Amino acid sequence: MRSSVTGIIFTHGSHGGAQEAEEVDYGAVRNVLSVLEAPARIALMTAIGVTKHTPGHDWKRRGERLVRASGMPNTIVRPGWFDYNGADQHRLVMLQGDTRWASDPSDGVVSRAQIAQVLVASLTSDAADHKTLELVAETGPAQTDLNPLFDGLQADRAGALDAVLDRDNMPLDHEPAGVVAELDAVRRRF
């Protein structure tokens, strides 16, 4: 019997050390992808600054790589700091290149409701497919249509493990052998 799953939204995340990050931030993605019976649309939330090497960020980034390697339709959202918005910060801004590495709210802020709005909208937006973005909110009114924002983004390159504008600072030949094997396995699944 085929699964009726057509879309998956990942919003998990750890706050611990390397082992917890591996088990939660990476493990959740690996485990779900390994049991899918058919391709599904994926929306994955990680974090702004994910390309800055820390144990947690490295495992989140490996989770992103699994999603891209699957070849399934996907959107990867890297939100800024949750719920630090000012009362007038409703205008969503989608960035690429992961250049905000301060590791504090100066990287950008966004509400949980706004993150949820973007994740859900990405599941049905052709303009959001195969795109990775950093999400922040700035001063101004909320947009009602997110497609123009998605349209303004560059798509991730077909077959690439990292986002289109990410810095090349996590070479595959330096990755754990198990991670490389799991990337190869997910590429063969669909």
**Amino acid 3: pLDDT:** 64
Mean pLDDT of the chain, nearest integer: 95
Residues 59-88 have a mean pLDDT of 97
The fraction of the chain above a pLDDT of 90, given in percent, is 93
Q: What is the pLDDT of residues 98-130, one digit of tens each?
A: 999 999 999 999 999 999 999 999 999 999 999
Q: Is the pTM of this model over 0.85?
A: yes
**Amino acid 1: pLDDT:** 38
**Amino acid 30: pLDDT:** 97
Residues 52-74 have a mean pLDDT of 96
Residues 24-43 have a mean pLDDT of 96
**Amino acid 15: pLDDT:** 81
3-state helix, strand, coil in the chain (%, to 5): 40, 20, 45
The helix (run of H) or strand (run of E) holding residue 75 is strand 74-79
Is the pLDDT at 2 greater than 60? The verdict is no
The helix (run of H) or strand (run of E) holding residue 4 is none
